[in-house]
Amino acid sequence: MPTLIQKPTRIVAAGNKPKVIEEYIGRVNSGDQNLSIARMLSPGGWVEPGQTPEFDEYTVVIAGMLRVTHKGGVIDVQAGQAVITRAGEWVQYSSPNAEGAQYVAVCLPAFSPGTVHRDA
């Protein structure tokens, strides 16, 4: 039987400025451990610590620009574009432009604070 997700759960985000994470599907909101889907709203100038997660992350930018820094350089992901980061890769997300970014992130398996492995 289908399960209706009434509303997301807001999750505290890492970074230098307040970022909104609204988890629709995942460990916190629906109890799913196989996959998480969340809408992100990051303000202009936001940057989070680098991380080496144990999950693949599929990100679609809806508005603004999301910067993905990795060991090989930088990818600026514009509205209407997507990026895939793989488990075990070091990455750092930021939204350096004034308008910030709105994007949807899908993590496989589901995001967990214990498996993101943020830099100290």
pLDDT in tens, 13-31: 999 999 999 999 999 999 9
Residue 108 confidence (pLDDT): 98
pLDDT in the model for residue 73: 98
Q: Which two tokens stand for residue 35?
A: 């996959």
Tell me the whole-structure pTM to 2 decimals.
0.95
When pLDDT is averaged across residues 64-71 and rounded to a whole number, the result is 98
How many whole angstroms separate alpha carbon 65 and alpha carbon 99?
A: 8
Say how many C-beta atoms besides its own lie within 10 A of residue 80's C-beta: 9
99-108: pLDDT as tens digits: 999 999 999 9
What residue segments make up the domains of the chain, in order of their start? 9-116
For strand 36-42 and strand 20-25, is the pairing parallel, antiparallel, or unpaired?
A: antiparallel
The pLDDT tens digits for 38-52 are: 999 999 999 999 999
For residue 69, the surrounding DSSP H or E stretch is strand 56-70
Residue among 52, 37, 50 nearest 93 (CA):
50
Say which CATH topology domain 9-116 has. Jelly Rolls (2.60.120)
Q: Is the dihedral of CA 70, 74, 80, 81 positive or negative?
A: negative
Residue 90: pLDDT over 90:
yes
- Cα dihedral: 18, 43, 14, 94 (round 10): -160
Q: Is there a contact between 56 and 107 (Cβ–Cβ < 8 Å)?
A: yes
Place 12 in a pLDDT band, splitting at 50, 70 and 90: confident
% of the chain exceeding 90 in pLDDT = 98
